[in-house]
Chain A
Amino acid sequence: MAFKIASSPHIIRPLQTSTVMQRVLLCALPGFAVQIAFFGWGTLFQVLLAMLTAVVTESAVMKLRQRSVSSTISDNSALLTALLIGVAVPPLAPWWLTVIGTGFAIVMVKQLYGGLGNNLFNPAMAAYVVLLIAFPVQMTSWVAPVGAAAHAPAFLESLHIILSGTQINVADSFQLSVDGFTMATPLDTLRTDLSQGHSISEILQKPAFNGIAGAGWFWVNLAYLLGGLVMLKLKLIRWHISAGVLGALTLCAAIGWLWQPATHISPLLHLFSGATMLGAFFIATDPVTAATSNKGRLIFGALIGVLVYVIRSYGGYPDAFAFAVLLANLTAPLLDYYIKPRTYGHRA
């Protein structure tokens, strides 16, 4: 066995927040790229718009609070929040949707509580819930994946649709000539059709479910899973939260599926549709708003997994990551209070 001989100093410097955030951003790139490949350039514009808004609003708040603007902006946390909002909103959503959401996330959810490290709720998810509640129509008209629609919006065309701000009408006008390019997501389709009394096997024949676990969605989730594994390897996150989320979701989905396969989708479909992988690795693992002990993290993650399953299957919304994460955020202080790691040398 060969020992690596390194010269002093032997103390490893902990990563700075800005570096961590930057690496998380990089790890999200594969998923981001696949999302652009399947759902068009809209996502890119949404992310850029969100990042711009995040930087501007955060600078403004820091000016108001008479703190250093540059040191806050350069911790990159606002950019990560912006990225999460940008990939979560529909790619062709009007520009003001992203601006309102990101502004809310930075000003109300993050800075009003005192900035990074003090916020109770995950800013990106709180913003998503605000948008979903305030603008349900815009938030649920998702773009059809490439191949499913007869016509996919080009680079400049998607920019035009986003900036003109009247996405629904514009999309309608395109529908005259082609099939249109908005379409319910697989989970949306599932929710609507189940309520109309269709069975799972009928629903899975629909175009939204082309390929594995829905056209496009499978690959997007797979890419985020890849990014998540890289983050684990780089030790940017610990495995507990993600494992809790995915484990609990799989377990619940398996029970439901074995119990009533006619009305419950398979665990595979749960794992690779909607925001599952993005949520499990990039959203739920936010160190500020999650529990801080390893056991607490496992419970925190499992809670999210169970909530996601319950809301997806029995709730009023097709996907549930934002709600599940916010509800779990509420329990984080309690988890930290009751689950304290044993101090080294003490008996339990």
Chain B
Amino acid sequence: MSQYSEIAYQGLWKNNPGLVQLLGLCPLLAVTATVTNALGLGLATMAVLVGSNVLVSLIREFVPKEIRIAVFVMIIAALVTVVQLLINAYAYGLYLSLGIFLPLIVTNCVIIGRAEAFASRNNVVKAAFDGLMMGVGFTLVLIVLGAIREILGQGTLFDGADQLLGAWAAGLRIDLWHTDTSFLLAMLPPGAFLGMGLLIALKNVIDKKLAEKQPKAATAPVERARVTKVN
């Protein structure tokens, strides 16, 4: 079981695709203007990630090494198409607001990265769990960044959540503050870069504090090797 908690720790914190590996930054920065968009893209990416990890792990014995990348990409592309059509069918508003970034999940380096680095070397259950954890880690970063930008930019949270989750979610919308002059910068791409930088800095601070708290491993006293004889 400790293997799985290690996978979870890697995906959610230590090797977080958003904060540490800095993979998939293009959609991460482009669609995080609101929590809803962030959540939508995060879930879509997570679904693709789990699916591709499972499939890649299943076929890992049969694919010749030389053409594996091409095969992985085709698997991922097929899964992205499935997810795209599903969102088009069941969450059309979200489909419109995610726009080009939905099909662009294909190019998200997290997915091909996990397929190559993990799924093609581990069994199906582990690969699925790894995909899930990486997906959750990615989604969490998206949501936090989306929340920061949405609060700063338009003073709301979960604006337009009904597009993703159905009509009941319209009540989720929280108005934190209201102003006639929204902080446009937070909504524009520079705001995403600034927010991302601050999040990474925050993670580094937390890591540093945690490292300080940990009791230092007792270092073995250095024994001096005598080269001269004591008589």
Binding site for B on A (CB under 8 A): 108, 130, 133-138
B171 at the interface (CB under 8 A from A): no
Q: How far is the CB of B190 from chain A (nearest CB, A)?
A: 7
Q: Are A135 and B181 in contact (CB under 8 A)?
A: yes
Docked pose: A149 CA to B185 CA in angstroms: 32
CB distance from A135 to the nearest CB of B (A): 6
Contact A133 B194 (CB under 8 A): no
Q: How large is the interface on B (under 10, 10 to 19, 20 to 34, 35 or more residues)?
A: under 10
Q: Which of B165-186 contact A (CB under 8 A)?
A: 181, 183-186
Is B188 positioned at the interface, with any CB of A under 8 Å from its CB? yes
Residues of chain B contacted by A130 (CB below 8 angstroms): 185, 190
Contacts of A133 in B (CB 8 A): 184-185, 188, 190
Q: Which residues of A contact B181 (CB under 8 A)?
A: 135, 137-138
Question: How many angstroms between the C-alpha atoms of A345 and B181 in the bound complex?
Answer: 61
A134 contact set on B, CB distance < 8 A? 183-186
A-B pairs, top 7 by smallest CB distance, nearest first, are A134-B185, A134-B184, A134-B183, A133-B185, A135-B181, A130-B185, A133-B184
* Bound CA span A134–B152, Å: 11
Of A133, A134, A138, most buried by chain B (CB within 10 Å of CB) is A134
* B184 nearest in chain A by CB position: A134
CB distance from B202 to the nearest CB of A (A): 13
Taking A130-B185, A134-B184, A138-B181 as known contacts, 8 extra A-B pairs with beta carbons closer than 8 A to each other, sorted by chain A number, are A108-B194, A133-B184, A134-B185, A134-B186, A135-B181, A135-B183, A135-B184, A137-B181
Q: Which residues of A contact B183 (CB under 8 A)?
A: 134-135
CA A259 to CA B186, docked complex, whole Å: 42
Most buried by A among B183, B185, B186, B190: B185
Among B183-210, those with CB < 8 Å from A are 183-186, 188, 190, 194
Alpha-carbon distance A278/B190, docked complex (angstroms)? 27
| CA of A108 to CA of B197, assembled, Å | 11
CB<8 Å pairs between A and B, sample of 17: A108-B194, A130-B185, A130-B190, A133-B184, A133-B185, A133-B188, A133-B190, A134-B183, A134-B184, A134-B185, A134-B186, A135-B181, A135-B183, A135-B184, A136-B184, A137-B181, A138-B181
A329 to chain B, nearest CB (A): 16
Determine the distance from Cα of A134 to Cα of B194 in the docked complex, in whole angstroms: 14
CB distance from A170 to the nearest CB of B (A): 13
Residues of A within 8 A of B186 (CB): 134
Closest to B191 in A: A134
* Closest chain B CB from A74 CB (angstroms): 28
From residue A110, how far is it (CB to closest CB) to chain B in Å? 15
Q: How far is the CB of A123 from chain B (nearest CB, A)?
A: 15
Query: How many whole Å from A193's CB to the nearest CB in chain B?
Result: 26
B137 to chain A, nearest CB (A): 26
CB neighbours of A136 from chain B (8 A): 184
CB neighbours (8 Å) of B188 from chain A are: 133
* Complex Cα–Cα for A139 and B188 (A): 17
A108 to B185, CA, bound (A): 14
Q: What is the minimal beta-carbon distance from A23 to any residue of chain B, in angstroms?
A: 34
Residues of B within 8 A of A135 (CB): 181, 183-184
User: B5: shortest Cβ distance to chain A, in Å?
Assistant: 35
CB-nearest residue of chain A to B152: A134
The chain A residue with its CB closest to the CB of B201 is A112
Most A CB within 10 A of own CB, among B181, B183, B186, B190? B181
Shortest C-beta distance, A94 to chain B (Å), equals 8
User: CA A138 – CA B185 in complex, angstroms?
Assistant: 14
Chain A residues with CB under 8 Å of B194's CB are 108
Within the complex, what minimum Cβ distance (angstroms) separates A307 from chain B? 19
**B residues in contact with A108, CB < 8 Å:** 194
B71 to chain A: closest CB distance in Å? 42
Query: A137: which B residues are within 8 A, CB to CB?
Result: 181
A108–B186 alpha-carbon span in the complex (Å) = 14
Of all chain B residues, which has the CB nearest A136? B184
Nearest-Cβ distance from residue B167 to partner chain A, whole angstroms: 34
In the assembled complex, the Cα of A133 lies from the Cα of B181 at a distance in Å of: 12
Shortest Cβ distance from residue B161 to the other chain A in the assembled complex, whole angstroms: 25
CA–CA, A133 to B191, complex, Å? 11
Give the CA-CA distance A130 to B186 in the complex, in Å: 10
A89 to B194, CA, bound (A): 23
With A and B bound together, what is the CA distance between A137 and B179 in angstroms? Answer: 14
Q: Which residues of A contact B185 (CB under 8 A)?
A: 130, 133-134
Residues in A whose Cβ lies below 8 Å from that of B184: 133-136
Q: How far apart are the CA atoms of A133 and B194 in the complex, in Å?
A: 14
| 0/1 interface trace, chain B 84-121, chain A, CB 8 Å (1 if under) | 00000000000000000000000000000000000000
